[in-house]
A and B are shown apart, each in its own frame.
Chain A
């Protein structure tokens, strides 16, 4: 199993450009999430999905779109990049155990710089 994979590892954008961060998992997990990590801070939830076709907003959703057409993939789209979106982005996946929640497994992250 490759686990959770993310592409690209690094990206530099100009203000106003759009792009898609890719995330895929091969563990058949129902839950997938996107987090961002700003310098010296913990991760904050952007968007999440509880299954194919179902997405919802997290703590910091503005400026981002997501979709979940398959169980495996959960891309994050930046519609019009802004310098405030300079951050490291992590994708995570997990499954729901009977009566509780499973551990989230994280991808390696994408470092995004918006100039």
Chain B
């Protein structure tokens, strides 16, 4: 079974600065997908970014980028130019190509003005 670990329960960052959220996972699979989801107070799950394990290039989406280290089974999320609207819970998730997600415990991010 796969496991996903987010070692930072809470983090804070000043507006306009950069913050990195950590995620590690454990799997014996070679083909899989990794995701970061954002959950604001409205509790809606919003996709931030996804990474296919077979792609060596790190995914980027505007201010969001990942550092995918397949050998180390690490998948961190970098948020640049943090905005107040980035305040939310962030979940790392793993999919072994079966359309079923295994989630980490989440990191609560607070962006301070």
Residues of chain A whose beta carbon lies under 8 Å from any beta carbon of chain B? 31, 33, 35, 40-45, 48, 50, 58, 88, 90, 92, 94, 96, 100-106, 108-109
Contact = CB atoms under 8 A, between A and B. Distances in A.
13 contacts: A42-B103, A42-B104, A42-B106, A43-B101, A44-B103, A90-B45, A94-B99, A100-B97, A101-B33, A101-B97, A103-B35, A106-B45, A109-B45
A100 B52 contact: yes
* Closest 7 A/B residue pairs (Cβ): A42-B103, A106-B45, A31-B99, A43-B103, A101-B97, A94-B99, A101-B99
Contacts of A104: 95, 99, 101
A100 B30 CA distance: 12
A88 B91 CA distance: 16
A33 B100 contact: yes
Residue among A43, A45, A94, A96 with the most chain B CB within 10 A? A43
Nearest to A90: B45
Contact of B105 (A41, A50, A106): A41
Given A42-B91, A43-B101, A45-B100, A103 B47 contact: yes
B62 interface: no
Residue among B52, B98, B101, B104 with the most chain A CB within 10 A? B101
B99 A33 contact: yes
